[in-house]
A = this chain, B = another copy of it.
Amino acid sequence: MMFETLEVGKQIKPGDFDKLEGPLREQLLRAQLELAERDYPVIIVVAGPDGAGKGSLVQQLNEWMDPRWIETNTFWEHSDEEESRPFFWRFWRSLPGRGQIGIFLGSWYTRPAQAAIAGSMGASEFSLYCKQIEIFEQMLADDGALIVKLWLHISHDSQKSRLQDASVHRQATQRGSNLSYELHGTYQRTMEVSEQLILATDSSHSPWQLIEAEDSHYRDLTAGQLLLQAMLNRAGREPREGGADSAREEMLVEGQPTVLDSVDLSLKLDRDQYKMRLAELQERLHHLGWQAYLEKRSTVALFEGWDAAGKGSAIRRVTRAIDPRLFRLVQIAAPTDEEQAHHYLWRFWRQLQRDGRCTFFDRSWYGRVLVERVEKFASPDEWQRAYSEINQFEQQLVDHGIIVMKFWLHISPAEQKRRFHAREQTPYKQHKLTEDDWRNRARWHDYEIAVDQMVSHTSTRHAPWTLVSGNDKRYARVQILETFCDKLEEALNKK
């Protein structure tokens, strides 16, 4: 899930690449030069499936910067020396010194990934191993190290075609001992294990960056920008607020596609079909609501989306089908004083209903990585670590048996404009349109980037996002109701 949402076709045209490469290179070199005077090392982990271009990226980074002060580590050959010492010894001895850069092309992530995919490492050994990784990275971060972890992703199809390429084959063969696991048709399993690995090791001190690697120009430039930004932030040259995400924005300013572009906004339902399907689905949901109550299974469903995307009216179509004693609808607006005085997740924890009930959130904890990010109410540190905090939170809900559903209501900018004007002209709807709405609209692009990253970081197997095609309200409502019924039914049957 997580990875599929990355497959949106981001790319940089060769001409643009040439324009952007020069300044980036210059800045990277300068950052590297300054690093030499600093008392911390930079540790870069490059990971991802075979064929994603990890090697080429590392080559590019070496080209952009001064390779004399970069050490690239691979760990292809397992030496006797390594085998006869504790596993992490090989990484300890390869760590860069303060002021230096170490790139880990193979790393502490390679073994658990390969072993779990090959089936030779069980779940509890895997999680123990993840714990070791965390301890290791925490130690380095506590000591001041800047850790930049880049995960390159490519689709199954691209991987297949790339791995058929003779040169890649040759390279894989030359490495010899390196298990080319993906060659054996285990792409899906690779993605599953990778997601687990990322979720278990995504922390505030060493977060993962996910990069779509279909296009090598986009891949290299984005990786370079993320690295540069991390180095500048760490050096404190840029103010922390607002600085951290400028690299990504820069990259996307040129009109990169986002996950939202994968939503087909032309989908429609005519009135008759709509009425029929609505009645049918509401009837179904009514029964499922009671069944869930009897089986003591809770649902947490949250709705996010553009202003005027129709969240409110869609939620009403869902709640109308459920006995009011079985659900609560929580509207999330600005936090109260008391809420403000706690961790931002506190206000959501307190709203959880007892087993067997539904809790609907009209806007949610995702405000942290949407409005709070875009409006800079949260610092980059805060919203960046929120991805893993949110994943952990939702994991706890799911572990308790709660069914978590997340809907993003998507509409086009043109459709939003149409609806805003309609509101202006309809007296009883005028109150729904505020200054804020126009202001948010002007930030459409910032929100688009925030949504794109939110979806790729939090569309987990345990709590995936559903992107709703919202230009046609009827279609959107039916899509939501149907998804809701399907997921609820599936969860109840699985139990």
Contacts and interface: CB of A to CB of B under 8 A. Distances in A.
Contacts of A389: 139, 142
B392 A139 contact: yes
Nearest to A350: B93
A92 interface: yes
A88 B139 CA distance: 27
Interface in A52-89: 80-81, 84-89
A84 B402 CA distance: 10
Contact of A142 (B204, B341, B342): B204
A328 interface: no
Contact of A399 (B86, B342, B343, B345): B86
B397 A86 contact: yes
Interface in A122-167: 124, 127-128, 131-132, 135, 138-140, 142-143, 145
Counted per complex, copies of this chain come to: 2
Contacts of A127: 124, 127-128, 131
Nearest to A90: B349
A492 interface: no
B86 A345 contact: no
A307 to B, nearest CB: 29
Contacts of A87: 396, 400
Nearest to A83: B355
Interface residues of A, number: 52
Contact of A85 (B41, B80, B86, B352): B352
A70 to B, nearest CB: 15
Interface stretch (A94-102, A112-120, A251-259, A452-460): A94-102
A346 interface: yes
B85 A355 contact: yes
B95 A354 contact: no
A296 interface: yes
Contact of A81 (B203, B338, B354): B354
A234 interface: no
A98 B354 contact: no
A441 interface: no
Interface of A: 41, 80-81, 84-89, 92-93, 95, 97-100, 124, 127-128, 131-132, 135, 138-140, 142-143, 145, 203-204, 296, 338, 341-346, 349-350, 352, 354-356, 385, 389, 392, 396-397, 399-400, 402
Nearest first, the 8 A-B pairs at minimum CB distance are A97-B341, A92-B349, A84-B355, A86-B400, A84-B354, A124-B124, A98-B341, A143-B343
13 contacts: A81-B354, A84-B355, A84-B356, A85-B355, A86-B352, A86-B396, A86-B400, A97-B341, A98-B341, A99-B341, A100-B341, A132-B396, A143-B343
